[in-house]
Amino acid sequence: MAIVLISASQDIAQWRESFAALLSGVELRHWPDIGVADEIDMAIAWKAPEGAFKSLPNLRLICSLGQGTDHLFRFDDLPPGVPITRLVDDSMRRQMTAYVIAAVTRRLCRMADYAAYQAKGEWHPLAAYDPAAAVVGVLGLGALGRDAAEKLAGLGFEVRGWSRNPAFIPGVECFNGKRSLAEMLGPCDMVCCLLALTSETLGILDARAFAAIKPGAYLINSARGGHVVEADLLAALDSGHLDGATLDVFEAEPLAADSPLWDHPKVELTPHISAVTMVQSCAGQIAENYRRMTAGQPLLHVVDPDREY
Question: Rounded CA gap, 132 and 125, in Å?
Answer: 20
pLDDT on residue 193: 98
Band of residue 219 on the pLDDT scale cut at 50, 70, 90: very high
Q: Are 162 and 175 in contact, with CB atoms under 8 Å apart? A: yes
pLDDT at 4: 98
Domain 90-269 has CATH 3.40.50.720: yes
The reply to whether domains 2-89+277-295 and 90-269 share a CATH topology is yes
Q: Which amino acid is at 178?
A: K
According to the model, what pLDDT value does residue 69 have? 96
pLDDT score at 80 = 94
Name the percent of the chain lying above pLDDT 90. Answer: 97
The whole-number pLDDT of residue 104 equals: 98
Contact at 8 Å (CB) between 104 and 221? Answer: no
Cross-strand pairs, 160 = 137, 173
Kindly list the domain boundaries of the chain, sorted by start residue.
2-89+277-295, 90-269
3-state secondary structure the chain: CEEEEECCCCCHHHHHHHHHHHCCCCEEEECCECCCHHHEEEEEECCCCCCCHHHCCCCCEEEECCCCCHHHHCCCCCCCCCCEECCCCHHHHHHHHHHHHHHHHHHHCCHHHHHHHHHCCCCCCCCCCCHHHCEEEEECCCHHHHHHHHHHHHCCCEEEEEECCCCCECCEEEEECHHHHHHHHCCCCEEEECCCCCCCCCCCECHHHHHHCCCCEEEEECCCHHHECHHHHHHHHHHCCEEEEEECCCCCCCCCCCCCCCCCCCEEECCCCCCCCCHHHHHHHHHHHHHHHHHCCCCCCECCCCCCC
Is the pLDDT score of 1 beyond 90? no
Give the integer Cα–Cα distance in Å for 223 and 200: 14
To the question of domain 2-89+277-295 being in CATH 3.40.50.1820, the answer is no
Long-range contacts from 145-148, C-beta under 8 angstroms, 24+ separation:
145/192, 145/194, 145/195, 147/93, 147/96, 147/97, 148/96, 148/97, 148/100, 148/101, 148/192, 148/194
Model confidence over 81-126: pLDDT tens digits? 999 999 999 999 999 999 999 999 999 999 999 999 999 999 999 9
As a residue count, the chain comes to 309
Per-residue model confidence as pLDDT tens digits over 250-301: 999 999 999 999 999 999 999 999 999 999 999 999 999 999 999 999 999 9
| C-alpha to C-alpha distance for 28 and 167, rounded to whole angstroms | 39
| Positions marked active-site | 224, 272
Is the pLDDT at 169 greater than 90, yes or no?
yes
Dump pLDDT digits (tens) for 184-210.
999 999 999 999 999 999 999 999 999
